[in-house]
Amino acid sequence: MTGNGCDPMRPYLGRLVGKKELGTDIRLFQIELTEPVGKSHFADYRPGQFAFVSALGVGEAPFGITSIPSRGEVLEFGVAKLGSVTGALHSLEVGEMVGVRGPLGNWFPMNEIKGKNIIVLGGGIGGAPLRPVINSILDHRSDYGHLTILWAARTPSLLVFTDEYETWQSAPDTTLHLTVDKGDEHWKAAGRSEGLITQLLEKVAPSPENAVTITCGPPIMIHFVSLTLKKLGFSLDQMWTTLEARMHCGIGKCGRCNMGEKLVCADGPVFRQDQVAGFLESFL
């Protein structure tokens, strides 16, 4: 949205057309932009890009866009209720107006990774910005090699997009592995995996040959996943991740999201792990 004549700090208006429970205090928000200029700027956003969503009258916060434009005009965001803006978003009713500012930031290199085996590692709400990666691959299945999804959360009720697992699993050449730090009775009774995503990763042990990994989750998870991947023979330049930071502009002005001289908003949020390793300041 640079250089198109619009004020980059002004959100586009949109209407909340749907909301769905994704987990405990986690919801999917479906937004239809109502202004033509907004629709046109969100016509071709990419997996990994983010946008600020406004709870108008409370404030705005950045979220990874979890939809892909080829599946429809409606923008989707997975939002965990954590602070004042997310709290206000959660209390909105379908039909109410919101603001959306973006699309912002860079994106996952979906073209460059064609032909490769892809390992997607999502932790908790960190799965939200990875869903467009998964759906893009599924929609262009023959362009990519094997897709391995490792999906984790602290508890079963925090696993996101559960109603899509069947579609993911039944897609050709795709495997889904789930784990939770601590299972409930049902989880245990079903004999499903308990433990950290790094333990699951060691067990699944994907081959680094002709493969790339795409990870999102809490910073500490991203860190330990990269260490485990290294053990499995992956080099840092095979690992992609997307980072989060508190932000107030998303356009490289407010100074909030810097890690050393890198700005998560303007230089990221998508980084390769060798770039992350080269940051002067830790993201942890």
Tell me if 39 contacts another protein by CB under 8 A: no
Q: Using CB under 8 A, which of the segments 108-116, 162-170, 226-234, 240-248 binds another protein? A: 240-248
Distance of CA 68 to the CA centre of its chain: 12
Least distance (Å) between residue 140 CB and another protein: 31
When binding is defined by CB under 8 A, the residue of 173, 260, 270, 271 that contacts another protein is 260
Tell me if 261 contacts another protein by CB under 8 A: yes
Least distance (Å) between residue 195 CB and another protein: 22
Q: Using CB under 8 A, which of the segments 147-155, 168-176, 232-240, 258-266 binds another protein? A: 258-266
- The DSSP annotation for 229-280 comes to HHHTT--GGGEEEE-----S-SSS-S-TTEETTEEHHHH-SEEEHHHHHT-S
Q: Which two tokens stand for residue 58?
A: 């409370």
Tell me if 72 contacts another protein by CB under 8 A: no
Q: What are phi and psi of 128, to 5 degrees?
A: -60, -50
Q: Answer positive or negative: Cα dihedral of 198, 202, 204, 208.
A: positive
The conformation of residue 192, written as its DSSP 8-state character, comes to: -
Tell me if 69 contacts another protein by CB under 8 A: no
When binding is defined by CB under 8 A, the residue of 151, 161, 168, 283 that contacts another protein is 283
The conformation of residue 73, written as its DSSP 8-state character, comes to: S
Least distance (Å) between residue 276 CB and another protein: 12
CA distance 271 to 244: 11
Tell me if 7 contacts another protein by CB under 8 A: yes
Tell me if 36 contacts another protein by CB under 8 A: no
Contact map string, positions 197 to 226, toward another protein, x by CB under 8 A: ---------------------xx-------
By beta-carbon proximity to another protein, the closer residue of 9 and 236 is 9
- Residue 143 identity: D
Distance of CA 175 to the CA centre of its chain: 19
Q: Side-chain half-sphere of 150: how many Cα atoms within 13 Å?
A: 28
When binding is defined by CB under 8 A, the residue of 263, 265, 270, 276 that contacts another protein is 263
When binding is defined by CB under 8 A, the residue of 36, 44, 57, 227 that contacts another protein is 57
Q: Which two tokens stand for residue 184?
A: 């409930």
Tell me if 44 contacts another protein by CB under 8 A: no
